[in-house]
């Protein structure tokens, strides 16, 4: 299940959760845990916006782990991840040039990744693809869990898959399944 936190200091050109920039409702940690428990989920993803922009994100992550959930954090990579509970799977989204937020990447975060963490690149076009390939080598990431995801309305999935196959890249391709299941309906 997703726990979506409000707020984000970035404004990516392909953002599909602009509704999460503001609004939402304040909830006590106990209420969030009760809500999560009501779904009988075993895996919980904390996402946003940018979840680390919320000061109580770190205690939430730890509380979810303590409650026995497998927990992942979807984060932009623009904010420090060094204090994230070690049990949490960090999915660090390095922003490509096509995101319009590439300057916000904090590459120091790469040193705080563990073997179970993932690095994601949302690819908008061939320039982004070449940039991401270069980052794999620049930061010696080829032995990490790497995800390449096509920007849904900018790059056909088949094109990205073909580039990956042609280059025999050691990456996993990831699509945003909810956009296919619910026809890109906001909030799904």
Domain contains 187: no
Domain count, the chain: 1
CB atoms within 10 A of CB 14: 16
Give the model's confidence band at 40: pLDDT under 50 very low, under 70 low, under 90 confident, else very high: very high
Question: Which pTM does this prediction carry?
Answer: 0.89
Domain contains 186: no
Is the pLDDT at 188 greater than 60? The verdict is no
Domain contains 27: yes
Is the pLDDT at 23 greater than 80? The verdict is no
Is the pLDDT at 98 greater than 90? The verdict is yes
- The closest alpha carbon to 60, from 22, 34, 23, 91, belongs to 34
Give the model's confidence band at 20: pLDDT under 50 very low, under 70 low, under 90 confident, else very high: low
Give the model's confidence band at 67: pLDDT under 50 very low, under 70 low, under 90 confident, else very high: very high
Domain contains 174: yes
- The closest alpha carbon to 7, from 57, 61, 71, 54, belongs to 54
Give the model's confidence band at 180: pLDDT under 50 very low, under 70 low, under 90 confident, else very high: low
CATH number reported for the structural domain that contains residue 145 in this entry: 3.20.20.70
Q: Residue 121's domain spans which residues?
A: 2-181
């Amino acid at each position: 299940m997703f726990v979506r936190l409000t707020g984000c200091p970035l404004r990516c050109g392909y953002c599909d959760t602009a509704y999460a920039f503001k609004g939402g409702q304040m909830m006590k940690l106990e209420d969030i845990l009760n809500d999560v428990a009501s779904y009988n989920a075993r895996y919980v993803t904390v996402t946003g916006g940018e979840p680390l922009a919320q000061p109580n994100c770190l205690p939430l992550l730890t509380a979810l782990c303590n409650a026995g959930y497998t927990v992942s954090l979807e984060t932009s990579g623009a904010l420090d991840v060094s204090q994230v509970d070690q049990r949490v799977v960090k999915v660090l989204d390095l922003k490509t040039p096509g995101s319009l937020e590439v300057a916000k990447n904090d590459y120091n975060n790469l040193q705080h990744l563990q073997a179970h963490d993932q690095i994601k690149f949302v690819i908008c076009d061939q320039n982004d693809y070449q940039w991401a390939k270069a980052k794999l080598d620049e930061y010696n990431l080829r032995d990490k869990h790497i995800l390449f995801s096509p920007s849904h309305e900018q790059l056909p999935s088949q094109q990205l898959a073909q580039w990956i196959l042609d280059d025999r890249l050691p990456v996993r391709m990831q699509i945003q399944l909810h956009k296919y299941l619910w026809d890109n309906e906001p909030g799904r």
